[in-house]
């Protein structure tokens, strides 16, 4: 299944999705050392986002989430890419800073997240760093 998406942070990624129905704040919500969800009020408490493509409706909470996202990308405990239904300035900045400082790409694209399922593989090809650009993301069933 392919769908169009708007590119906020460019990059290529292919990984299994983790789909969260409730927005997660990286600050106070993710342990940067492990990539695990530590927010006790979050339904996915204990799950790891490391190496996955994180899919959720929107971002949430403190601006310190920019730092925490960038720090997880630096440590290799962060998501491979992020798909949101609504743009989020805080996460956008975190991913751009990590890309600029460490040359580690965590693409962020905005599209409908209906029908995306945890565990399925998602391929994001968002080569052009232009928010007006539409890319196609492709979800494949897990093998």
5 contacts another protein (rule: CB under 8 A): no
Provide, rounded to whole angstroms, the least separation between the CB of residue 27 and another protein. 8
Q: Determine which residue in the list 50, 97, 121, 136 makes contact with another protein, applying CB under 8 A.
A: 97
Among 86, 94, 84, which Cα is nearest to 26's? Answer: 94
Q: Which stretch binds another protein (CB under 8 A): 16-24, 34-42, 63-71, 114-122?
A: 63-71
67 contacts another protein (rule: CB under 8 A): yes
118 contacts another protein (rule: CB under 8 A): no
The CA distances from residue 112 to 48, 63, 82, in Å, are: 23, 24, 13
Among all residues, which ones are annotated catalytic?
A: 62
């Amino acid at each position: 299944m392919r769908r169009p998406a708007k590119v906020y942070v460019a990059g290529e990624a292919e990984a299994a999705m983790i789909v969260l129905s409730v927005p997660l704040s990286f600050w106070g919500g993710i342990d940067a050392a492990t990539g695990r969800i530590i927010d006790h009020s979050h339904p996915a408490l204990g799950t790891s986002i490391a190496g996955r493509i994180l899919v959720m409706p929107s971002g949430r909470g403190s601006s310190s989430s920019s730092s925490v996202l960038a720090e997880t990308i630096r440590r290799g405990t962060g998501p491979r890419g992020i798909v949101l239904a609504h743009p989020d300035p805080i996460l956008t900045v975190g991913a751009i800073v990590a890309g600029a400082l460490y040359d580690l790409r965590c693409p962020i694209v905005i599209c409908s997240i209906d029908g995306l399922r945890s565990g399925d593989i998602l391929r994001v090809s968002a080569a052009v760093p232009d928010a007006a650009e539409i890319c196609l993301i492709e979800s494949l069933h897990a093998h």
